[in-house]
Chain A
Amino acid sequence: MTAPLLEVSDLSVEFPQRRQRLQALDRISFTLEAGEVLGFVGESGAGKSLTGAAIMGLLEPPGRITGGRITLQGQRIDGQAESVRGRRIGMIFQDPLTSLNPLRTVGDQLVETIQLHLGMDAGAAAQRAGELLDEVGIDRARIGAYPHEFSGGMRQRIVIALALAPEPELIIADEPTTALDVSIQAQVLALLRRLCKERGAAVILITHDMGVIAETTDRVAVLYAGRLVETGRTAEVIAAPRHPYTKGLMAATPNLDLVSVDTVLPQIPGSMPSLAALPPGCRFHPRCGDVMPVCRRTAAPFIDGVACHLYGAQTQEAG
């Protein structure tokens, strides 16, 4: 059996502070096959972006990986992400307005990336840059234009071109469309998906939007307060969410078919705890409707795609 494209096991990230160490990610594990699209959902602060940053080796100091391993096609990359950053794993950030250097032309930035990773000479790189612009639907004649001369949607297309330029095997897209106008979100997302599919590149898609997850991803991972609470095939998770938090998220999402403007959606009561004040046991238990005494004491192990005591008992019996 060949190694999966990306394997993350027991990844932990901490932020040492004066009085305590904030554990921002707690033993996250997941795998990703080549060409697969994996979605990450969770409330703000759940650790979605941190997971991406950890894989890229771009944690902001003093944040650091304190445990676990990350392998790309069987090869460890944690601690030496420079060797694959940009080249084999590309990343796209949320805000296209600020992702490009305002003082340099988009061509400049494309050529610089292409030359660095593909070792082309300037002429060939410029040629390739033009082709990439064409591919993302921007007139290649505008290669000499500055970022501010493009709209937000166009800039995000350029960002996509930049991330794809070195032909990476994996793209981590951190809320790539959140900052865009609703009317073009779908377009940009479709473009990203198409280009990745053509190249056989896998995608990690970070988003708040269950609708996007449903439409775009093959599998989904749900994060809560630095822990993975549920993973599974997207269709299955949406059809039958198991963890109470996932259920809450689903219930709070407007049903794509029959949503009406004044539908009042049920919300999960309370808010996610801050890292400095995490509850003992299952981190979701203070907000959980199905809370049991055991939840307050111990965290449920992650078994069979879900970390919840509701299911732990059955699994233990079965094992």
Chain B
Amino acid sequence: MVIILARRIAQAVLVLLLVALISFAIFRFVGNPVENILGQEATVQDRNEMIERMGLNDPIPVQYARFVWDALHFDFGISYRTAEPVAELIASRLPATLELAFISALFALVAGILLGIFTAISRGRFLAGLVMTTSLVGVSLPTFLIGVLLIWLFAVELGVLPSFGRGDTVRLGFWETGLLTASGLKSLILPAITLGLYQMTLIMRLVRSEMLEVLRQDFIKFARARGLPERMVLLRHALRNTLVPVTTVAGLQLGSIVAFAIITETVFQWPGVGLMFINAVYFVDIPVMSAYLLLVGTLFVLINFIVDLLYLAIDPRIRDRNLRGGG
């Protein structure tokens, strides 16, 4: 077990270093860092001083190592646009994104699994068909249009929900949360649905097809033949086996929720890291872009890692295969 763990961690670190390499390349070679910080009017002496201070004359591997070292200490440089440290910028905006992503993921998972089970066990009924058809439309709509549509319906026509921002927030230490106020929660509804809808649909369809697959299997037939009541067959035998493959896909989908938050945050002017990233792209704020890539990359690698472990925990067959392979 320890060996598997070590190997997985080594893999994850390797991918992370690769992501860091790309981040570093962007940070170092796109545009001219010195000019961007000092402006075009700076004297040659100022420039040389800056080059020296940033260590831009050192060998590239040394610079890369320093980049990684700094990143490990949450030092991502200074934003070209606002001249703030990027780390502070991210720290002030990350809670907004994480709260949005968390609620969306929760929505996607809970609604996706419930609807998936429902459409699987009531296959052929009208309501299940309706859900499936609607979900097809949901998948083909681009995220930003879903957001616009929701704004039009709930903010413009009905006027019941806010169309932008986070509402009132409360500070808990360094964390600014919108989950504790009524207006914060209300502001969260539309963005969370917009962001979660696509993943919800995917999870629903996946759960449905997996569940139908599992229900066709012999051990379900045998469980029924053993006299287990239908409720037990579904909950104890079908559901768990359905959720194993769903875990991987759902887990990976949750990672892309953070990435797709860029779109939702822009539509709803949600003050998170996604909006920060889009602004950075627009204003060519290279350090912010590079830090964002590092952040999202880390998140993806982390999620992949956790999903792998989860998979090991759930499926004894894989656990054994790995143990044998690893030992």
Contacts and interface: CB of A to CB of B under 8 A. Distances in A.
A278 B95 CA distance: 70
Interface in B173-189: none
Given A93-B222, A98-B217, A159-B222, A103 B315 contact: yes
A145 to B, nearest CB: 9
Contacts of B226: 85-86, 90, 113, 162-163
B65 interface: no
A133 interface: no
B59 interface: no
A163 B223 CA distance: 10
Nearest to B124: A61
Contact of A112 (B236, B240, B317, B320): B236
A148 B315 CA distance: 11
Given A87-B227, A116-B228, A146-B317, A58 B240 contact: no
A166 B225 CA distance: 12
A297 interface: no
A149 to B, nearest CB: 7
A102 interface: yes
Contact of B223 (A56, A95, A101): A101
Contact of A148 (B229, B244, B320): B320
B225 A86 contact: yes
Interface in A57-79: 58
Contact of B227 (A86, A100, A104): A86
Contacts of B244: 103
Contacts of B229: 82
Interface string B297-327: 0000000000000000011110010000000
Given A116-B227, A116-B228, A102 B317 contact: yes
Interface in A80-138: 82, 85-87, 90-91, 93, 95, 98-104, 112-113, 116-117
Nearest to A108: B236
Nearest to B225: A91
Contact of A103 (B218, B227, B241): B241
Interface residues of A, number: 28
A96 to B, nearest CB: 9
B236 A99 contact: no
Nearest to B240: A103
A285 B244 CA distance: 52
A148 B219 contact: no
Interface in B55-82: none
A105 to B, nearest CB: 8
B219 A100 contact: yes
Contacts of A91: 222, 225
Nearest to A52: B225
Nearest to A57: B224
Contact of B221 (A86, A93, A112): A93
B8 interface: no
Contact of B228 (A95, A100, A112): A112
B225 A56 contact: yes
B225 A148 contact: no
B47 interface: no
A64 to B, nearest CB: 15
A85 B219 contact: no
Contacts of B228: 86, 112-113, 116
Nearest to A117: B227
Interface string B208-232: 0000000001110111111111001
A148 B237 CA distance: 16
Contacts of B219: 98-102
Contacts of A116: 227-228, 232
A90 B225 contact: yes
Given A86-B227, A87-B227, A58 B221 contact: yes
A159 B241 CA distance: 19
Contacts of A146: 316-317, 320
B225 A101 contact: no
Interface string A261-300: 0000000000000000000000000000000000000000
Contacts of B227: 82, 85-87, 113, 116-117, 166
B224 A85 contact: yes
A247 to B, nearest CB: 34
A98 B225 contact: no
Contacts of B217: 98
Nearest to B238: A101
The CB with the most chain A CB atoms within 10 A, among B217, B221, B226, B315, is that of B226
Interface string B156-173: 000000000000000000
Contacts of B241: 101-103
Interface of A: 56, 58, 82, 85-87, 90-91, 93, 95, 98-104, 112-113, 116-117, 146, 148-149, 159, 162-163, 166
30 contacts: A58-B221, A85-B224, A85-B227, A86-B226, A86-B227, A87-B227, A90-B226, A91-B225, A95-B218, A99-B218, A99-B219, A100-B219, A101-B237, A102-B315, A103-B241, A103-B314, A103-B315, A104-B240, A112-B228, A116-B227, A116-B232, A146-B316, A146-B317, A148-B320, A149-B320, A159-B222, A162-B222, A163-B225, A163-B226, A166-B227
7 A-B pairs with least C-beta separation: A86-B227, A98-B218, A91-B225, A146-B316, A99-B222, A86-B226, A85-B227
